[in-house]
Copies of this chain bind each other. A is one copy, B any other.
C-alpha cells in the first residue's frame, strides 16, 4: 500500500530510473516488422505483433539494470484492440522478468467509473467464476482535475492490493503553466494539487516514508522540482522530460531526498531509439538500449552518492 516494492528495487539496483515503452511503429527495426507482417499481416495485428516483439527485446536487454518500465497507453490504443492486447502481453512479460510496471494512462473519472479504471489497471474484475486481472500493472498515472471523487476509488485498490498511483501535478510540457502555474490565493494550482497528494496518501505511508500517492513532476522545471521535494515529503515523484524534452541530470537531481530516494526518472525515446541516435545496425537495437540505460543510470546517480554508498 505504498511504493515500497518499487523503492526496494531501486535500492537493490542502485538505479532510480524507469524506461518508457511508447513504441511507435517508426521506432521498430525493419527486421522485426518484416517478420511480424509475414506472420500476422500488415494490418493492426501485424503492427501489434511487431510492437510486442520490439518491447520483449528491450525488456530482455534492460531488466537486470532498470527496476521499472512505463508503457504509455496511447501508443497501444492507436493500434486498436490488437495494440491493447500487445499492451497486456508487454505488462505480463515485464512482470515475468521481475520489473515494476507503471501504466501511463493518465486516467480520470468519478465513482463507479474510476472504480472500473482502477479494476482494469491495478485490481481485478468480477467475472462469472471469480475475479481476474485485466491488465495487472503495479501503478497507474491519473489526472486529479475531478478532485477526491476521482482519486479515492483508485486509492482503495492501492490499499487492498499494494499498488500505487501518480497524480499529474506539474507536467513537463511548455504550456503546462497555462493552468498549473496560475495562483489560487498564494498558492499555484500545481502546489494545491501537490498538497492534495499529501492528504490523499496520508494513511498509506510505507517504510521509506512515501505513500501510495505519488506525483508527476516534470524534469523541465528544476526549481519547481526542488520546491516540491521540500514541500511534499511523503509524495514519491515520477519525473518525465529527462533527455528528449531537455531536462538534464543536475536539474533532475533536485527531485531526490537526502537519502537519494523519492523519485524515479523516466526516459522513453532515448532508450527505444538509441540504435537510431547512435547510428548502429538495427539488429543491435537492444544492445544500444542497454548502453543507453547504463549511461543514464551513471548520469543521474553521479548526483546521488547516498544511493550508491
Contacts and interface: CB of A to CB of B under 8 A. Distances in A.
Interface residues of A, number: 73
A180 interface: yes
A143 interface: yes
Nearest to A117: B74
A96 interface: no
A254 B189 CA distance: 29
A163 to B, nearest CB: 15
Contacts of A192: 179, 182
Given A113-B22, A171-B110, A134 B178 contact: no
A117 B107 CA distance: 12
Interface in A16-39: 22, 24-25, 33, 37
Interface in A194-222: 196
A303 interface: no
Interface string A160-186: 000000001001111111111011110
A184 B182 CA distance: 7
Contacts of A171: 110, 145-146
Nearest to A152: B175
Q: Please state the number of chain copies in the assembly.
A: 2
A36 to B, nearest CB: 10
Q: Is the interface of A mostly helix, strand, loop or mixed?
A: helix
Interface string A57-89: 000000000000000101101111111110110
B179 A193 contact: yes
A145 B178 CA distance: 9
A200 to B, nearest CB: 11
Given A42-B127, A42-B129, A144-B179, 6 more contacts: A44-B125, A47-B128, A75-B113, A77-B135, A143-B145, A149-B175
Interface of A: 22, 24-25, 33, 37, 42-44, 46-47, 72, 74-75, 77-85, 87-88, 106-114, 116-117, 119-121, 125-129, 132, 134-135, 143-150, 168, 171-180, 182-185, 189, 192-193, 196
